Structure 1
Amino acid sequence: MSVSSNSVSVFAPASIGNVSVGFDVLGLAVKPVDGTLLGDVVTVTQVDEESSLTVLGRFADKLPSNKEDNIVWSCLILFNQALEQANQQVVNVALTLDKKMPVGSGLGSSACSVVAALAGLNAFYQNHHNFSFSKEQMLKMMGQMEAQISGSLHYDNVAPCYYGGLQLMVPDEEIISRALPSFDDCYYVMAYPGIEVSTKAARDVLPVQYSRADVIRYGQNLATFVDACHRQNKAQAFSVLTDVVAEPYRKELLPKYEQAHDYLTSQGALAVGISGSGPTLFCVVDDKQQAETFAQWLNEHYLQEVDGQSHGFVHVCKADNTGAAELLADS
């Protein structure tokens, strides 16, 4: 993707929603160490004709063929409405979505499209029309679009995808998200098995009520994790990276997950969990060689074939502290 005189391209990275210990309130942006763009790219180009949307990329065929049903088109409509409310001129644009993220993967696929689209539009107007919305305004729009897809408002994917790093959602509509100190020496091995799990299906298996013991354990684990992040106590942080809200119920939806979890834990992983609603598994280590060894094992034992083909992948990642970013012409 490149930037021309009237064009802007923005990349939005994958993210780990929940990070096991913070259901709907914690998220971490990640990037492969080999430079692979794990996320989506949206290019915005000013045109004289009517606005349009083109979808391409490895996972383009998993999206609706009708532009009106594509979330990127909905982002354009919302952004244009916001421009009109701000008394700004709306111009026609051609949008191109390069869909590099699998749908229903637990990697924040919809968030990537939403963030790349809205951040791309904002960068386009800033670069070419001397107007932009604030980051806080943008994040609210992103949350609105994400809620349209999942049916509930939660920022644990869009906030890290947009801001980068490890983000904690706070109950303040003006702040929404606070950055937490992450552990820069840690590697996150991300294994997408190649099957889809819808967010709705993953939410439907969760109980309506939880026991008092589970509520206490959840609060204690999350509080301890946040405290350990601020004190940079890695051992304590990952010792409580346990999901008591979703994983006990969702693991049944994920073939081979329990086997992989038990094996990686026994081999010294700092933590193993389900990324978002799954089926992607994430594994945390602080040694690159160990990360590569685990990646190879997951390639052989966690990826699955659908109709005789494997569409999965494994990436060794680190935290992405940049978030959504404009791509240069030679990217």
Structure 2
Amino acid sequence: MSVSVFAPASIGNVSIGFDVLGLAVQPVDGSLLGDVVSVELAQQDELSVIGDFADKLPSSPADNIVWHCLKLFNQALINTGQKVKPVKLILDKKMPVGSGLGSSACSVVAGLQALNAFYDDFFAKDVMLKMMGQMEAQISGSLHYDNVAPCYLGGLQLMIADPEIITRTLPVFEDCFYVMAYPGIEVSTKAAREVLPTEYSRCDVIQYGQTLAGFVDACYRQDKQQAFGQFTDVVAEPYRENLLPGFSDAKAYLYQQNCLAVGISGSGPTLFAVTDDQSVANAAASWLKEHYLKTNLGFVHVCKADNKGARCL
């Protein structure tokens, strides 16, 4: 028996929802922007890594997050009295590391979901999501679900304070395009978190709450003007934009070209721009390819919301 699971890229934070909003995205051309993990029965546990960004990962399987996913999953099986089978894991690493597209979340979600599919969906979704959060916290140093939740469940996810609920699915703007531009340089999540202040002013806290609440309300009423009209990140972008060469200029240009919103995807350096006009999206993508990419590893995709999340191929 062999199974393969694809886990899509995601926009962590969606700018105005630091650690509490996340949106899964998929390119409109049908290409796979995310990771794939395959699982098959073997004589002993083993892991191999292939793909465009395989050389960016640790050479030892024991240092790979998918290997840690296997150990966590097997222990969970043992805790329930289930027999563990030796497996071969193959990680097809299609996502750049430190890109702000939820690269580690893609590996975690694809790895754990592939294992669960191999065992005929033994664990329920809520159990799986908690395991995914545990693995993501091991990488970033803090527990946050804004990448793993949309990557696993799909769509636009709002993180809830209740640890038993974790996340709720919000209505997406189905006619919106998300232009994703990865410049080809790396920004670690840990480093991007370290530049943030430890305290915020009362004014910033109020603005953050109003903006996030207004966005959630606008999603339910499908009011794009309200959703993106006050799309200002006061928590992370002012402190992170200097880590992203060319971001400020690109943001200014894209707003001049009638994009509805522009922001940093996750910790960066990926930029995302929102529009409900495909011609604007295509023009923005062309401009970003010429002006925002810094290395030949960079890429630009015109995407829409991915409402499926992780799925078997």
Matched, 1:166 2:156: yes
Per the alignment, residue 241 of structure 1 pairs with 231
Stretches of 4+ moved more than 3 A in 1? none
Partner residue of 2:35?
Answer: 40
Query: Post-superposition shift, 1:289?
Result: 1.1
Gaps of 5+ in 1: 1-5
Let me know the Cα RMSD of the aligned residues.
0.6
Q: Say whether residues 1:59 and 2:45 are aligned partners.
A: no
The residue identity in structure 1 corresponding to 2:300 is: V
- Residue 48 of structure 2 aligns to which amino acid in structure 1? T
How far 1:41 moved relative to its partner? 0.1
Q: CA deviation at 1:204?
A: 0.7
Q: Counterpart in 1 of 2:170? A: 180
Give the Cα separation in 2 of the matches to 1:318 and 1:231. Answer: 19
Is this contact kept in 2: 1:163–1:324, CA < 8 A?
yes
- SS at 1:24's partner residue? coil
Q: Following TM superposition, by how much is the alpha carbon of 1:217 offset from its aligned partner in structure 2, in angstroms?
A: 0.2
Tell me the number of residue pairs that the alignment of Structure 1 and Structure 2 aligns: 313
Partner in structure 1 of residue 283 of structure 2 = 293
Could you list the per-position Cα deviations for residues 63-106 of structure 1 after superposition, in whole angstroms to 9, with x for gaps in the alignment? 00011110000000000000001111100000000000000000
Distance in 2 of aligned mates of 1:209 and 1:173? 24
Q: What is aligned with 1:121?
A: 115
Distance (whole Å) between structure 2 residues aligned to residue 118 and residue 240 of structure 1: 37
CA distance in 1: counterparts of 2:187 and 2:224, whole angstroms: 31
Tell me, in whole angstroms, the C-alpha distance in 1 between the residues paired with 2:235 and 2:210: 13
Q: Shift in Å at residue 125 of structure 1?
A: 0.4
Partner AA of 1:23 in structure 2: F
Residue identity matched to 1:101: M
CA separation in 1, counterparts of 2:251 and 2:75?
A: 46
**Does 1:311 find its partner at 2:260?**
no
Give 2:242's match in structure 1, choosing from 240, 252, 273.
Answer: 252
CA distance in 1, matches of 2:306, 2:134: 23
1:279 aligns with 2:269: yes
Report the residue type matching 1:176 in the other structure. I
2:95 to 81, 85, 101: 101
CA distance in 1, matches of 2:114, 2:205: 40
Whether contact under 8 Å (1:29, 1:320) holds in the other structure is: yes
Residue 276 of structure 2 corresponds to residue 326 of structure 1: no
Counterpart selection for 1:195 from 149, 170, 185:
185
Residue type of the alignment partner of 2:30: G
1:17 equivalent in alignment to 2:30: no
State the Cα distance separating 1:241 from its structure 2 match: 2.1
Contact 1:19 1:241 (8 Å CA) reproduced: no
Partners of 1:240 and 1:122 in 2: how far apart? 41
Please name the residue that 1:269 is paired with.
259
Alpha-carbon distance, 1:189 to partner? 0.1
- Structure 2 CA distance, aligned partners of 1:217 and 1:314? 31
- Separation (CA, whole Å) in 2 of partners of 1:167 and 1:179: 5
C-alpha deviation, 1:267, in angstroms: 1.3
2:310 and 2:231 mapped to 1: Cα distance? Answer: 26
The AA in structure 1 aligned to 2:117 is: A
SS in 2 for 1:294: helix
1:146 and 2:136 are equivalent in the alignment: yes
Structure 1 letter corresponding to 2:63? D
Contact 2:257/2:280 (<8 A) preserved: no
Q: CA deviation at 1:50?
A: 1.1
Instruction: Report the residue type matching 1:237 in the other structure.
Output: A
Partners of 2:189 and 2:109 lie apart in 1 by: 18
Contact preservation (8 Å) 2:41, 2:87 = yes
Q: Is the partner of 1:94 in helix, strand or coil? A: strand
Q: Tell whether 2:65 aligns with 1:71.
A: yes
Aligned AA (1:81):
Q
